[in-house]
Structure 1
């Protein structure tokens, strides 16, 4: 969602990329900007975005879109951490860590939309790797710790190092380093304090990427810790300059809602904030929900709210946990529909068939048209729409055995909270998420507005019927733990089902709770 330009000043709303898009890294090539984010256990991995103004972003694809690039071994919140994207010598370079299989690796491409190469593995420890080149063509890889090594990025060979270059300001987890040559100085940007509410951005500089580095006099250069600002956990940043010479920072942050301690349900999102340089050091923040925009202003056509599955391949926003085997899905079997085949009997364990997209707005409505199809040789069908954090935290609107059911999986507990007979044939399944709306008295009178949002589940077989409303706190990072956010999608755990379309729309204004 982007706000129309104001008069006389254009402004933008934060986050610039909503939903589970953490650990942003950005580079500029001419007038174009390219940004990547962490994807953890989801496939395809590392979404890549394009913008002409740092505000309006369009997803071009995913850097890791082949199984040989991303083996499906990740546990929840495992997999791919903290990529860095850079452009050097006519090529795009992306370096990241697969913490579940193999460690640090580089892939390259002549075009941002790919195809990207197979991984070149690098024998370096740590996570959050970065790439920077000096004027002699040497490539430097910094990584969490904070350490640096001189490497051959083509061969994945460590030429010198690694050695420590800065220990940060003393906070926990110095990580996410980025090296920049700006003027006569090498600047080192890092994150500290953990990726929760104590998150910070710190800066140091030196005459060489080898160090020594002196810290900025006013570190941290950015933090929202111990404030009541609506944006929290600001950190894991990257810097970029515009053609007119101004500087900007992309970073992750969260938007907690509800009673203390506050719950963020969309994961860590990508925010944008301006940077000033004062006496050779950056001055940043605070990160506001609304900022004056960069001078360039290039809105892009927002994605259509409905995917009719008429394209020859799935759009890049569709992701699946750990992998998407070829036999589990098809756009050709029933043209104009996404057909899913069960590969596992439950969403509570890895190995199931699920195709979803990130929830990007705090208030939204998702609807799908489910067609179980005719029974095949007596086989039953179990399919539906799920809002998931991981295998142990998800709410499902499921159709099976002539009934629609709302199922809540919260940690070790699994319960059917509502059930409604439904006729055979196509059905519309609807989930709405609303902030600031209490649960109905019969469902949570004592809870009030403590939760971050309320999720309502409905089924429409000719007339909409609301089945249940559930507290959203149990699908939050504060409850589920980990690094990811909500993903809403279609699934099949028994038999085969087709989905005619999928609608995703932000809810604005005072729309009613029920769809």
Structure 2
């Protein structure tokens, strides 16, 4: 599967430059510009072992790992889905499906530096809550989102290229576009009230949008929801609005309760696009907040949804949720889930959206499960390998605050990095390539060739949730010796948990393996045949949202710096 395979990442960092082959022994002269190759990833979670698929079934979530804030649209028989990407570059991954089950990544909406400026943003800052829409009147796709400001990009082909951003002059976050059947268009978004009455008091505001001139219609803004549902109970943070027209009525669906344990989805209805909107008596229509916290195969934080009509004529909703590990840690981040939506009555209702969400769903009528085949994204337990020699890297890889090709180049021996003056504790562009942790139990490894010049040089693998919460495992110098070092950065406090001199011929394999909530780092000097544990198992606490904060899951990376602060003891 070309663009979205998942692999066991065994980090073999080649500490050699792309140099001239020695006529004497056929080796490459070592370099301070590390080369990585033979990356392997494999995930093996018990939920998939204990719940094998039967005939006519598929797994939920449909996108495992940190793919939050999903938005979906349809053109004919084609479905397109986008997710938040924060400080990842390229941004806004976009996926295509014919049936809502089998998905391929077809690129990124924000694929050029001119579209996305996140060079100084935290890992949970930058681009968030995109909304994708299709306008049948001009056969154009639109994505609206927030980075430094709210803006729109558009394209005839969702695979790109997409336009440069068109800034829009309104405050607030989580905008989305609605194209009415009379040719008019509207933007709805979360905004602050004129006067906040309680903590978390927000509004939903609507503007008319001038499609021909790509701008807001001046003076057209109206607050259509003030506070959220059950105003007298002081609802918290209504956001992520979408408008739909169904059987002649306008429906406004929003997230409410914040993106944590009280997250939910609520719905309102009106006879007119500008309202007034009345709330459904059965709100919320999706939430996991009322359930036993110790339930089996726990899914939580469900909300931030978007609805579309499926190929079978029924409705379906995509939404974010988490699957915490045994210690209730959120290391894989907010993932994209799917549930059927019953819209046969007056109000849409997520089927089984208020009871524990199960790991297995029935396939829509007429759909086959082809996940993991023919380029479709795999589900469940799976692995992948990548020698990083292809001219174009797989879509699984991304840079942090900078495109990978700005700090690295592909070669016949792997991916070679040019270390820069920033290190992992800086909210600045890092010299590295990153991929999402997909499973709770996994291994990630890579082979590296590298010779650091001094203690300011380091290359290796890393686990990062933020610049203040991460692990660095790599090779550096101390005096005239090479050293292997493991650093834990916890809320900004760096601690060397293990370091040791290395008898080393410029090649090493580095690995991180996780089981439940413990991360074991190990290395090999015999080409990956034998791994030696380095230090004790480390807690996954700092890689989890509940400790580190923010919105992302753990990211696994090939990392280098010329400004190392992981100094061996």
Q: Same fold (TM over 0.5)?
A: yes
State the match for 1:460 in structure 2.
524
**CA–CA separation in structure 2 for the residues paired with 1:5 and 1:13:** 8
Q: CA deviation at 1:325?
A: 7.0
**CA–CA separation in structure 1 for the residues paired with 2:123 and 2:509:** 30
**CA–CA separation in structure 1 for the residues paired with 2:512 and 2:476:** 18
State the match for 1:33 in structure 2.
79
Q: 1:293 aligns with which of 363, 368, 385?
A: 363
Q: 2:145 aligns with which of 74, 80, 96?
A: 96
Instruction: For 1:300-339, list aligned pairs within 5 A.
Output: 300=371, 301=373, 302=377, 305-324=384-403, 326-331=405-410, 334-339=411-416
Q: CA deviation at 1:278?
A: 4.4
Q: 2:447 aligns with which of 347, 369, 376?
A: 369
> In structure 2, do the counterparts of structure 1 residues 427 and 197 end up closer, same or farther at CA, with 3 Å as the change threshold?
same
State the match for 1:431 in structure 2.
512
State the match for 2:38 in structure 1.
none
1:64 aligns with 2:110: yes
Q: 1:222 aligns with which of 286, 309, 322?
A: 286
Query: How many residues are aligned here?
Result: 468
SS at match of 1:181: strand
Structure 2's unaligned 5+ residue stretches are 1-5, 7-47, 191-202, 565-569
State the match for 2:249 in structure 1.
185
Q: Is the Cα–Cα contact under 8 Å of residues 177 and 188 in structure 2 kept in the other structure?
A: yes
Q: CA deviation at 1:327?
A: 4.3
State the match for 2:101 in structure 1.
55
Instruction: For 1:47-446, list aligned pairs within 5 A.
Output: 47-72=93-118, 73-89=120-136, 90-98=139-147, 101=148, 103-144=149-190, 145-153=203-211, 155-159=213-217, 160-167=219-226, 168-169=228-229, 170=231, 171-228=235-292, 229=295, 230-259=298-327, 262-284=328-350, 285=353, 286=355, 287-295=357-365, 296-300=367-371, 301=373, 302=377, 305-324=384-403, 326-331=405-410, 334-351=411-428, 352-372=430-450, 381-401=457-477, 402-420=482-500, 421-435=502-516
**CA–CA separation in structure 2 for the residues paired with 1:155 and 1:466:** 61
Cα deviations across residues 432-482 of structure 1 (Å, max 9, x unaligned)?
1111xxxxxxxxxxxxxxxxx111101011131011310111211011001
Which segments of structure 1 move beyond 6 Å, counting only runs of 4 or more? 1-4
SS at match of 1:474: helix
> In structure 2, do the counterparts of structure 1 residues 247 and 422 end up closer, same or farther at CA, with 3 Å as the change threshold?
farther
Q: Is the Cα–Cα contact under 8 Å of residues 19 and 361 in structure 1 kept in the other structure?
A: yes
Q: CA deviation at 1:381?
A: 4.2
**CA–CA separation in structure 2 for the residues paired with 1:311 and 1:330:** 10
Q: Is the Cα–Cα contact under 8 Å of residues 421 and 563 in structure 2 kept in the other structure?
A: no
> In structure 2, do the counterparts of structure 1 residues 495 and 203 end up closer, same or farther at CA, with 3 Å as the change threshold?
closer
**CA–CA separation in structure 1 for the residues paired with 2:503 and 2:333:** 34
| Mean Cα deviation higher: 174-183 or 82-91 | 82-91
Q: TM-score, normalised by structure 2?
A: 0.78
> In structure 2, do the counterparts of structure 1 residues 243 and 263 end up closer, same or farther at CA, with 3 Å as the change threshold?
same
Q: CA deviation at 1:298?
A: 4.8
> In structure 2, do the counterparts of structure 1 residues 251 and 383 end up closer, same or farther at CA, with 3 Å as the change threshold?
same
Q: Is the Cα–Cα contact under 8 Å of residues 467 and 492 in structure 2 kept in the other structure?
A: no
State the match for 1:43 in structure 2.
89
**CA–CA separation in structure 1 for the residues paired with 2:289 and 2:503:** 50
SS at match of 1:128: strand
1:489 aligns with 2:563: no
Q: CA deviation at 1:4?
A: 7.3
Cα deviations across residues 350-404 of structure 1 (Å, max 9, x unaligned)?
333121011111111101111116x78x897410100100110001111112222
> In structure 2, do the counterparts of structure 1 residues 158 and 250 end up closer, same or farther at CA, with 3 Å as the change threshold?
same
Q: CA deviation at 1:175?
A: 0.4
Q: CA deviation at 1:31?
A: 2.4
State the match for 1:502 in structure 2.
none
> In structure 2, do the counterparts of structure 1 residues 14 and 243 end up closer, same or farther at CA, with 3 Å as the change threshold?
closer
**CA–CA separation in structure 1 for the residues paired with 2:214 and 2:319:** 28
**CA–CA separation in structure 2 for the residues paired with 1:409 and 1:422:** 26
SS at match of 1:244: coil
**CA–CA separation in structure 1 for the residues paired with 2:321 and 2:508:** 37
1:478 aligns with 2:549: no
> In structure 2, do the counterparts of structure 1 residues 158 and 433 end up closer, same or farther at CA, with 3 Å as the change threshold?
same
Q: TM-score, normalised by structure 1?
A: 0.86
